Amino acid sequence: MLRRVLIALAATAQLASAQATSFVPPDERVYDDIARLSAAGLIDTIVVSPRPYSRREVLRVLREAQRNLDRISPSGWAASTIAADLAIYDRPENRAIDDVRAEATELSSPDRAVPPQPTGGIDARINPLAANRDGRPITDGTSATIETMHRVELGRHFALSLNPLFYAAAPRGGNATERLRIQSGEVDVLFGNMHLDAGRGYAVFGEAENGGVALSTNAPALDMVRLSNDMPARLPFPLNFLGPVHGTVFVADLGKHQHFPYSQLAGWSFSGRPVSHFEFGMEVIDEMGGRGAPGASFGDRALDVLILPDVFRRHSDFQFSNKMFGGNFRLHAPSFGGFELYAEGLLDDWDQRRVKSSLFDDGGGVAGIDFSCIMECGRLRARAEYRQTGIRYYTHGQFASGITEDSLILGDQLGPRATAGYATVDLDAARLGTFSVEGALEVRSGNVYTAVANGVNQTDFHFELTQRNPAEKRARALLVWRSARDRRIDVRAAAGAERTHNFAFVGGMTKTNGIVQLGAEFRP
């Protein structure tokens, strides 16, 4: 059976024309377009989680949407959007420079650390106005970046990409800094439908636009090796009822700044679409290893990533790793205003003896609704989202850096012990460009908890509140404008303000933060 599954994932009906292509960064505009086209019911064979998509997969879903334009009326927005995206992505990758991005930012919003807890540590900085940038650097003060993307196809089976970034900053109250770094860069290998990539690449799990609570757009590109099927594929009988499926597995190096330097993050996801209006998925991320970390055999590490000990070991899990696992789903109703309902839930720990505590104290999740056809499908979109993270989410007693890299949380930028609500309205005003207004309310608990266990095998494990501190509350509004779609240039401007009460959990400490940003992308 396993052999048949692997053959099915590797095979497609388009083998004769298969061309290796690099991944499209998850912050590119086309993902928002694909989300609206899918909500309108124009794309049947698509798996939203995980991302990013390869350039080849982006072209496939755009062409599928183009073939199905007669499903909606009027279809003017969809037709013009598809044509604009195809003009960008349906062209050879062998150019000296694929695109150039420049961005200037004035930010008045200091970072703050996550206070240590007896239940576990995390080396993370919290700054919502500077979050969800795919790890691109930004400072409290004035900063600017310029980056280029270079792609080349080497025959049918190999592709290369390189994304260098230059960063200059004048931090508030500090010294000016400059640096050049590799933002992303990969070697991509395609055989049939199996895509192997190695290098520095993005990984986003979850149904929400910014990703979920495991891996989000807050995370930088990871140094990793990843294997996935490039396009959704159908499995053989008796698993064909799962519909088009997508699977990915990766191993990443989290670098020298971890508590255990060069810890590894292993992860996998599996998603399927058994019917055209429903998608489901499962996912795991598991941090282990590194210099000075608890040792384990290769077999135990593999079992841990597969979550088998959590299923079959009654009293305890392996103690050499920091693991999160869970699932997600998305329900489509194109005829009802392009309505979509999506959710994701992940556990940072699981104990069948305390189900409620595992779900809420050790769990985290996202739930959202989305309407993309309020007027003409795709023209006006509104969505609302709720997020929550548990007491020791992203933290760990042994892996004290938590689920982070370079102090950036790989999952939700909320961090541990938090709840939040978001509302966003997007308007495509044709030649005037697109406008987006987002409102957010985030509450992060400053309370201190201790884990208590009595008896053999940690019976009666629970959390006890040992210190009450004020909750940090942030209310935020952000306005974003982007120029009308054009093959050669894309201009973006943003302005936002945030009111913070009890900053850093200090009662009465009130701050007003703000951001102004201007950026442009040019494609030769």
In this predicted model, what pLDDT tens digit does every residue of 287-337 receive, in sequence order?
999 999 998 888 888 888 887 656 555 555 667 889 999 999 999 999 999
Say whether pLDDT at 358 is over 60. yes
**pLDDT value at residue 308:** 60
Say whether pLDDT at 9 is over 70. no
Rounded Cα distance between 1 and 14, Å, is 24
Share above pLDDT 90 across residues of the chain, in percent, rounded to a whole number = 78
Q: How confident is the prediction for the chain on average, in pLDDT?
A: 91
Encode 278-337 in three state secondary structure: EEEEEEEEEEECCCCCCCCCHHHHHHHHCCHHHHHCCCCCCCCEEEEEEEEEEEEECCCC
SS3 category, 68:
coil
Q: Which CATH number fits domain 2-522: 3.30.9.10, 2.40.160.130, 3.30.1280.10, 3.40.50.300?
A: 2.40.160.130
**pLDDT value at residue 52:** 97
Rounded Cα distance between 255 and 235, Å, is 36
Domain ranges of the chain: 2-522
Mean pLDDT of 229-248: 94
Say whether pLDDT at 133 is over 90. yes
Nearest one of 156, 147, 215 to 188, comparing CA atoms: 156
**pLDDT value at residue 13:** 42
E strand or H helix at 5: helix 2-10
pLDDT confidence band for 174 (50 / 70 / 90): confident
**pLDDT value at residue 307:** 79
Tell me if 496 sits within 8 A of 476, measured CB to CB: yes
Rounded Cα distance between 438 and 477, Å, is 6
pLDDT confidence band for 250 (50 / 70 / 90): very high
pLDDT confidence band for 11 (50 / 70 / 90): low
**pLDDT value at residue 231:** 96
Question: Residue 182 is encoded by which pair of tokens?
Answer: 């590799």
Rounded Cα distance between 49 and 210, Å, is 11
pLDDT confidence band for 451 (50 / 70 / 90): confident
Tell me if 383 sits within 8 A of 370, measured CB to CB: yes
Mean pLDDT of 181-198: 97
Range with lowest mean pLDDT among 8-22, 47-61, 162-176, 272-286: 8-22
pTM value is: 0.93
**pLDDT value at residue 312:** 54
Encode 77-130 in three state secondary structure: HHHHHHHHHHHHHCCCCCEEEEEEEEEEEEEECCCEECCCECCEECCCEECHHH
CA–CA distances in Å: residue 347 to residues 75, 134, 212, 358, 452:
42, 24, 13, 7, 19
Say whether pLDDT at 16 is over 80. no
Tell me if 416 sits within 8 A of 394, measured CB to CB: yes
Say whether pLDDT at 350 is over 80. no
Nearest one of 368, 336, 415 to 126, comparing CA atoms: 415
What one-character-per-residue DSSP string does 332-392 give? EETTTTTEEEEEEEEES---TT-HHHHHHTSEEEEEEEEE--SSSTTTEEEEEEEEEE-TT
Tell me if 232 sits within 8 A of 354, measured CB to CB: no
Residues 6+ apart with CB under 8 A from 219: 134, 135, 202, 203, 204, 211, 405, 408, 409, 410, 411
Mean pLDDT of 381-391: 96
**pLDDT value at residue 72:** 93
Tell me if 274 sits within 8 A of 44, measured CB to CB: no
